[in-house]
Amino acid sequence: MPISVTNRANSVAMSAKRIPVARWTVEYGDNSEPKPVLVPHAWAQDIPVSCEGPVVYRAEVEVPRDNPSLLFHGVSYAAEVLLDGEPAARHLGIWDAFEVPLTRAAGKTAQVEVRVTKSGGPTYPVRDVAGGFLPYVYHTFGGIYREVELLSGEREEPPQRDCRVEVVGSHLYVEGQPFYARGLLHWGWYPEIGHPNPPEDTIRREVRAAKALGFNLVKFCLWVPPHRYLEILERENMRAWIELPIWDPTDDPAKQAQMAEEVDRIASQYAHHPSVIAWTIGCELSESTGPDFRKYLVDLVRNRTGCPLVKDNSGGAEMYGGDPREFGSFYDFHPYCDLQFYPLVLDSLARWPRAQMPTLLGEFNDADVHRDLARVGDELPYWASSMPELNEQGVRWTHELPRLVAESRFANYPTKSGHAQLMESTRSRAAFIRKTVHEWVRARPEISGSVNTGWRDTPMSSSGFFDDWGDPRFTEQECATWNGPLALFLIPQRRPPWKHGGNRPGWVDPWNRYPGQIFWKVGVHSEQTVTGGLIWRVLDSEGKVLARGAEPAVTASALEPIEVGQILWYCAEPGDYAIEVEFLGARNRWPVWVVPPGPISAGELFDPAGRLSGIELHKSGVCIATSPPADLAQRMAAGNKLLLLLTEEGCSPAPFWREAGYEWQSGWLEPFRDRWERLLPVSCDRVIDPGAFPGIELETLVNRVDLRTYAEAPIVARADGLLVTCLRPCGGLGITPEGISANPAGHELLVNLLKALER
């Protein structure tokens, strides 16, 4: 018996009378006795995770006489409700509330039975339902996972929509004030309770923790939170973005029609929340959804909610394929890329002559770290178990944790005690990535905000701002420079080189320089119109002020990045320095490494790629090669010394920054160890393939660890008389300066490599 769900569910919180129905029994179909449970409830590890049900819940209720009904705030996924053994209602959908009339039992004691079947099994496959992303994070969940209430009396009318967001050109305004989205992506992963309906104290605690790190918006990625979450956000003066739970759906029209019905009910029931300033219909939808389906849902959600920010496809067809026609009132991209390419990718997403709308980065800037595998292995939570009944792979495309906690050297004695160094190294790398990318983003006026991936570590990723136990990974101070209402950044200094008869894109490295005159420009992005002057200092490695200045006051208009000052400093000596800047209380700091210039010499160059211009040749010395010479073995047998700078041959593709950590074994590369500003100009997109050097035993000096699979591969290695690296002293990837003379960090790296080989 289908039921009709209307906006009446909107007014539940204001019903004249309501009584929680929390005490139930549950039967799992295994011929065992009914077990008492408290609702909200998900059956979690009570039965194998692959079991879809039906699971039977029962409760006895004293039914009021006046207009009685039973309100279910959320059941996953299919619910068949029986009243005194007779069918009363059937409902499909995880995220919307539904009412069951109890008129025929008014004034009596009634037996309520709910038969629940979860998605993910043969009856309701994952792609056939609006199940969101949780099945890909861990698995599907089943149960009466939200509250149930007994209603009676007159219902109040649903509250009026109170959408407080306004779009002016490409800028956003909330409650009449300029707004820049500083968002955090939330997948609804709550392993402690096994379902996405956390208690109020949990919500309040995590909202305040995110707010303390500078975030002003939560994006509910492919799930719909309980109403109290949005109410708490409103009280904390934070905003919400609801991304409806459609991801990689089936192309079956009937199944998509069912999803559309659920979207209609969700939009109707959540339209009144003033904290919600943006909606997206789904995420990275690619080929499975046609333009008619997406356009209908955009129009439907906009009409139901009155929200001016509605988009059909977070991520967009330009990035994720599918029919190129897109609908909605803002641009939404998901740039995930290696750090040296971020500015170029961001520039490629600029609006140019396209329609003027806000641009939001709906997901981006993930930075996986080495999670505490040792602790995970010691505690062995169900989501890391190798037991299929607890942790079957399901639809997940990666399912590495069970193997890792059993096999990884970082999770097992006697070596796991050393994993702390990799944890801190990757944490500091992630902090550098977050800060650097956001400075580049805040410098671009067409971007109206972004959403960082992600809230918390999950079984499939370790890119959370909070770890597997919900503890913050970064301090408030680490986030303050880039994640606040005022953000200071360095403006790129352009230096297009002349190559093969014309200019190529080129930039000056802001962090690594040669002695002499050094110049920086500083910009600010403000969420409010402000007037102030820049104060700057140059410090040595001991904190002594070497130079200082105060620039004339400028007015920075809201949401419009602007240059606020220039720094010109003459550096006489190589060394470690820093620049500090301040503008109206906002602060930032960048390290500066000044390296000695000078010629680099070699006995021979083997450079088919033509990348080693500027190196002097002498009659004796090391051979520097950009690909393995055919007579490599003979050279080594003759005692010749060879430095191999690999870019293609002898390598395998691998990002340098994404999903990667590094272990350093060599003291002579210590100036580069975990010094991310120094490594960015020489970063590569390869690892060494030891199989490309048959008969040569390579010793790894710098080891790349894949932070999702924990596969290991060298990026610096050696054998007798041979030093091999795929780091790039000559730069040339993305924004890295091309050529040794233009790349001070590359120059110093090459000097260190040659010294090591000549010892």
387 inside domain: no
124 inside domain: yes
CA 26 – CA 3 distance, rounded (Å): 24
Candidate from 87-96, 408-417, 660-669 with smallest mean pLDDT: 408-417
Which CATH number does the domain housing residue 359 bear? 3.20.20.80
- Band of pLDDT at residue 414, cut at 50, 70 and 90: low
Query: Of 594, 611, 629, which residue constitutes the final position of a domain?
Result: 594
The pLDDT assigned to 416 comes to: 64
The most confident of 11-15, 63-67, 142-146, by mean pLDDT? 142-146
- How much is the average pLDDT of 510-524? 97
Cβ–Cβ < 8 Å for 384, 686: no
pTM of the model: 0.95
The most confident of 6-15, 161-170, 403-412, by mean pLDDT? 403-412
Amino acid letter, 70: L
Cβ–Cβ < 8 Å for 622, 754: yes
Instruction: Looking at the structure, tell me whether residues 517 and 476 fall in a common domain.
Output: no
The pLDDT assigned to 418 comes to: 65
Instruction: Looking at the structure, tell me whether residues 584 and 616 fall in a common domain.
Output: no
- How much is the average pLDDT of 531-543? 97
pLDDT above 90: percentage of residues in the chain: 84
Domain that residue 680 falls in: 600-758
> How far is residue 85 from each of residues 35, 81, 148, measured CA to CA in Å?
19, 9, 19
- Band of pLDDT at residue 264, cut at 50, 70 and 90: very high
Instruction: Looking at the structure, tell me whether residues 207 and 315 fall in a common domain.
Output: yes
Q: Nearest CA to 666 among 697, 621, 699?
A: 699
- Rounded to the nearest 10°, the torsion over CA 205, 206, 208, 210 is 160
Q: How many CB atoms lie within 10 A of CB 314?
A: 30
Cβ–Cβ < 8 Å for 335, 364: yes
**What are the residues facing 705 on neighbouring strands?**
661, 712
pLDDT above 70: percentage of residues in the chain: 97
The pLDDT assigned to 632 comes to: 87
Asked if pLDDT for residue 358 goes beyond 60, the answer is yes
Instruction: Looking at the structure, tell me whether residues 645 and 753 fall in a common domain.
Output: yes
Instruction: Looking at the structure, tell me whether residues 574 and 657 fall in a common domain.
Output: no
The pLDDT assigned to 4 comes to: 40
Amino acid letter, 442: R
Asked if pLDDT for residue 14 goes beyond 60, the answer is no
**Structure-block tokens of residue 12:** 């539940």
**Mean pLDDT for all residues in the chain:** 93
543 inside domain: yes
Candidate from 260-269, 413-422, 718-727 with smallest mean pLDDT: 413-422
Give the number of domains in the chain. 4
Cβ–Cβ < 8 Å for 355, 408: no
Cβ–Cβ < 8 Å for 225, 188: yes
- How much is the average pLDDT of 672-690? 97
Instruction: Looking at the structure, tell me whether residues 80 and 131 fall in a common domain.
Output: yes
The pLDDT assigned to 13 comes to: 44
How confident is the model over 695-714, as pLDDT tens digits?
Answer: 899 999 999 999 999 999 99
Query: Of 460, 483, 506, which residue constitutes the final position of a domain?
Result: 483
The pLDDT assigned to 10 comes to: 47
β-strands 359-364, 447-452 pairing: parallel
158 inside domain: no
**Structure-block tokens of residue 161:** 């929509």
Alpha helices, DSSP H, located in 56-144: 134-137
Instruction: Looking at the structure, tell me whether residues 259 and 143 fall in a common domain.
Output: no
Asked if pLDDT for residue 37 goes beyond 60, the answer is yes
233 inside domain: yes
Instruction: Looking at the structure, tell me whether residues 655 and 527 fall in a common domain.
Output: no
Which CATH number does the domain housing residue 585 bear? 2.60.40.2360
- Band of pLDDT at residue 16, cut at 50, 70 and 90: low
Asked if pLDDT for residue 543 goes beyond 80, the answer is yes
Which CATH number does the domain housing residue 702 bear? 3.40.50
| Residue 213 neighbours by CB under 8 Å, 6+ apart | 465, 472, 474, 476, 479, 483
Candidate from 16-20, 62-66, 709-713 with smallest mean pLDDT: 16-20
Asked if pLDDT for residue 660 goes beyond 60, the answer is yes
- How much is the average pLDDT of 8-14? 47
The pLDDT assigned to 205 comes to: 97
Instruction: Looking at the structure, tell me whether residues 11 and 82 fall in a common domain.
Output: yes
How confident is the model over 203-231, as pLDDT tens digits?
Answer: 999 999 999 999 999 999 999 999 999 99
Instruction: Looking at the structure, tell me whether residues 533 and 583 fall in a common domain.
Output: yes
> Which single residue is written with the structure tokens 């009021």?
64
Instruction: Looking at the structure, tell me whether residues 195 and 134 fall in a common domain.
Output: no
Asked if pLDDT for residue 7 goes beyond 60, the answer is no
CA 141 – CA 255 distance, rounded (Å): 20
The pLDDT assigned to 12 comes to: 46
Asked if pLDDT for residue 721 goes beyond 60, the answer is yes
Q: What are phi and psi of 489, to 5 degrees?
A: -150, 160
Candidate from 140-149, 426-435, 484-493, 627-636 with smallest mean pLDDT: 627-636
Asked if pLDDT for residue 602 goes beyond 50, the answer is yes
The SS3 call for residue 671 is: helix
677 inside domain: yes
494 inside domain: yes
**What are the residues facing 60 on neighbouring strands?**
111
Asked if pLDDT for residue 2 goes beyond 70, the answer is no
76 phi-psi bin (left φ>0, alpha ψ -120 to 50, beta other): beta
Query: Of 109, 130, 152, which residue constitutes the final position of a domain?
Result: 152
Instruction: Looking at the structure, tell me whether residues 205 and 121 fall in a common domain.
Output: no
- How much is the average pLDDT of 143-158? 90
111 inside domain: yes
Q: Is the peptide bond before 40 cis (omega within 30 degrees of 0)?
A: yes
